[in-house]
């Protein structure tokens, strides 16, 4: 079951700061969040888990960028974001 993870949970999961998360998004190393309200965003839990597993597996930055592109493409195909 896919759930939505809010920013504080994502930050804790990766052990990073807000500015690092934004840098990762801007450099294609993390997917942009989904708008869930007028002032709130979240990430699908399956995407977060996939990226954590890629980090654990020691994937290169290029491999992670490609993975992010695939995740975003799947989102669009599913009609999300």
CATH of the domain at 25: 1.10.1660
pLDDT band at 2 (very low <50, low <70, confident <90, very high): confident
- pTM assigned to the model: 0.90
Torsion angle, alpha carbons of 54, 27, 23, 56, to 10 = 10
In this prediction, what percent of the chain has a pLDDT beyond 90? Answer: 89
Calculate the CA 52 to chain-centre distance.
9
The number of folded domains in the chain is: 1
Task: Please name the residue that has the structure tokens 């709130």.
Answer: 40
Structure tokens at 29: 């190393």
Range of the domain at 38: 4-77
The mean pLDDT of 71-79, rounded to a whole number, is 90
Q: Round the average pLDDT of the chain to a whole number and report it.
A: 95
Structure tokens at 33: 């969040």
The whole-number pLDDT of residue 9 equals 97
The whole-number pLDDT of residue 42 equals 97
Q: Cα(78)–Cα(81) distance, rounded to whole angstroms?
A: 9
With a cut of 70, say whether residue 40 has pLDDT above it: yes
């Amino acid at each position: 079951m896919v759930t939505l993870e809010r920013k504080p949970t994502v930050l804790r999961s990766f052990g990073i700061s807000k500015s690092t998360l934004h840098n990762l998004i801007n450099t294609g190393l993390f997917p942009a969040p989904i708008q869930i309200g007028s002032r709130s965003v979240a990430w699908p839990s399956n995407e977060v888990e996939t990226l954590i597993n890629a980090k654990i597996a020691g994937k290169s930055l290029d491999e992670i960028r490609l993975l992010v592109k695939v995740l975003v493409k799947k989102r669009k195909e599913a009609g999300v974001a």
